[in-house]
A and B are shown apart, each in its own frame.
Chain A
Amino acid sequence: MLTVGDVFTSYGMIKALNGVTLSASEGEITCLLGPNGAGKTTLMFTIAGILRAQAGSIKFDGQSIERLSAAKVVEAGIALVPENRLVFPTMSVEENLEAGAFIRVAKDRAGVDDDIERMYMRFPVLKERREQMAGTLSGGEQQMLALARALMSRPRILLMDEPSVGLAPLIVEDIFQIIRDVNADGMTILLVEQNANMALSVADKFYLLEHGRVTFEGAPGELEQDEVIRRAYLGTE
C-alpha cells in the first residue's frame, strides 16, 4: 500500500537517510525499530511531506507522493501522529479533533460531527474532557487525543512516531491496546518505536533501521528477540 524506494534525505550536509526501502501492506501493522539517530523520525517526516527526499520514490496506492506538500499528503490519506504527541495545547479537546478534520470540515460538517462522536465512543476519557484545554491532559490522554486527531482526517494509513515515549508502562499497554483495536478495524499502521518489546507484540512485520539504512526486515520471531533489542537500542558495530 505504501512503498518507500531507495529514499535519501539529508539535513544540510548531514545525511539522515541513505537509501531506505520498505513497504507497508494494507491492514497490517508495520514496525520500524532502531536506535536514536537511525533516521526513524526523518523517514516519517519524509513520507508525511514535512521533509523533502533528495532522491528515491514514495508511492501510496501506486501514486507518487514524494513531491507533495504536507497538506496534500494528508489529503491523499496519510496521517501522522508526531512524536511527543504535539496536541494544540491552548485549544480544547474538541477543537483539537476539529483541527484534525480540517481538510474536510467545510464539505462534510455532519460527517465530522459523527466522527467526533465516534472518537468519543472509542476514547471515553476524551469525551469527559471535551471542553478542557488539551495542554492540561495527562501524557496518555494527550497521546489518545493526538491519535484521535489523526484519525479525524479519515486516513487510510496512520504513521505513528514513538507513541510510547515518555509514558508510564501501564499507559503504554493501554496505548498499544488502542493501536491493536484501530488496526483490527482495518487501519493500516506504520509504527516507529524504541520500545522494541511492545512494538514486536503488535507488529505483523518489522524493519530495523540503522545509520539511515534498513539492516533487517522480517516477521517478529525471525530474528532472535535479544538480537532485535540489542540492535534496536544500540545498533550494530
Chain B
Amino acid sequence: MEYYLGIAQTIGIHALLGWSAYVLLLTGQLSLAQVGFFAIGAYVSAILTTMFGFHIVPALMVGALLGGFFAMLVGFPALRVKGLMLVVATIAFTQFVSLFFFNVHWRREVDGVMAGPDSTQGFREIRFYAANGWDTLDVTLFIWLFVLLVMVGLWWLDRSRAGAVLRAVGADDLAAQSSGINLTVAKVTAMTAGGVIAGLAGGLYAHSATYVDHLTFSVLLATFAIAYPIIGGIHNVLGTLAATIFIQGILIEGLRFLGDWRNILFGLLIILVMNLKPNGIMDARTMRAIKRIFAGGKTADSK
C-alpha cells in the first residue's frame, strides 16, 4: 500500500510540474525553466519549515509565490526569444538555479540539531511530515488536494476568457496582437502562473522526498515537465494528468519487472503514442469518445 501511495505522490507532483509547463504551452512557449521554479519552491519552503519552524501550508505558499516571482522576471526577457532560443535560454535558467543551490551553505541550529541546505551534501532532514505525525496516506491526500485545486483552477481558466486569450496568443501571436491582445501581459501572466504552480510542486516534492540536492533539478526532469503536456495534449487539462499517469505509473513503475528492457520499451511506447496520437492522448477525439460513453451510460439509466 505504501508503495502505491508513493507512486500516487509522484504522479501528483509530476502532474503539477506538467501543468506548470502546460500553461506556457497554451501561449506557444516551450519552457525548460519550470524545474528552476520547482527548485526554488523546494528549497524555499523546506528552509522555512526546517529552519524557521513554519507550518507547511504557509511555507508552500511562500515557495509558490517566489517561484511565480522569478518566473515573472524570466518572463520579460523570454518575450524577446522564441522557439529553440527560448528552450536554450530556459535550460540555462534551470542550470543556473540548480548550480546556485549546489553552492548554498546555510545552516542553523534548531532544537540542538543543524538544519538547512549543506551545499554539495544536499538538503537533508526535511522532516515536517514525520515530525508532525502525518502518515503516508495523509501526505498523499495533502498532495492530491493541491493537484485537484490546480486542476479545477486550470479547467476554469481554460473555459474563461483568459484561457481563450492564452490560446489565441499560442495559435498566432500576430493575429492575437491585431485583435488587441497585449502579448506582453498574456505571456508574462502565463509564465508567472506556471512559476507559481511549479514552485508549489517543488515544495510538495521536497517535503515528501525529505531530501533534495541540486542533481534532483536536472534538465531530464525539465524534459519530463514538458513531455507530460505534449504527450497528453493541450486540448484540455486532463491530458497532462493522463500522460503523467501513463509515464510515471505505467511506463516507469508498471514495467519495472522488465529490468533493463524497460528503458527500450519506454522510448518505443513514447514514439508509438506520439505517432498514434499526434495531438496528445486527450485530444478532441478522445474527449468526444469519453463524452459518448458517459452520455451512453445516462441514456441506459433513463430506460
Q: Residues of A with Cβ closer than 8 Å to B? A: 48-50, 69-71, 74-75, 79-82, 86-91, 95, 98-100, 102-103, 105-106, 146, 149-150, 153
Contact = CB atoms under 8 A, between A and B. Distances in A.
B171 A149 contact: no
DSSP majority for the B interface? helix
A82 B174 contact: yes
A88 B168 contact: yes
Contacts of B171: 88-91
A71 B183 CA distance: 8
Contacts of B180: 70-71, 74-75, 102-103, 153
B282 to A, nearest CB: 14
Nearest to B175: A86
Interface stretch (B147-155, B159-167, B236-244): B159-167
The bracket for how many chain B residues form the interface is 10 to 19
Contacts of A81: 178
A95 B168 CA distance: 9
Contact of B178 (A48, A91, A95): A48
Given A50-B174, A86-B174, A74 B179 contact: yes
Contact of B177 (A71, A89, A106, A146): A71
A100 B168 CA distance: 10
A74 B180 CA distance: 5
Nearest to B185: A71
Contact of A90 (B161, B167, B177, B178): B167
B179 A102 contact: yes
A11 B264 CA distance: 48
A75 B165 CA distance: 16
Nearest to B180: A74
Nearest to A44: B178
Interface string B162-196: 00110110011011111111111000000000000
Interface in B225-274: none
Given A71-B183, A88-B167, 11 more contacts: A71-B181, A74-B179, A87-B172, A90-B171, A91-B164, A91-B168, A98-B161, A98-B164, A102-B168, A149-B179, A150-B179
Given A82-B174, A91-B171, A106 B179 contact: no
A207 to B, nearest CB: 21
A29 to B, nearest CB: 19
A195 B62 CA distance: 59
Given A90-B167, A91-B164, A102 B181 contact: yes
A11 B176 CA distance: 21
Contacts of B167: 88, 90-91
Contacts of A86: 172, 174-175, 178
Nearest to A86: B175
Contacts of A99: 164-165, 168, 176, 179, 181
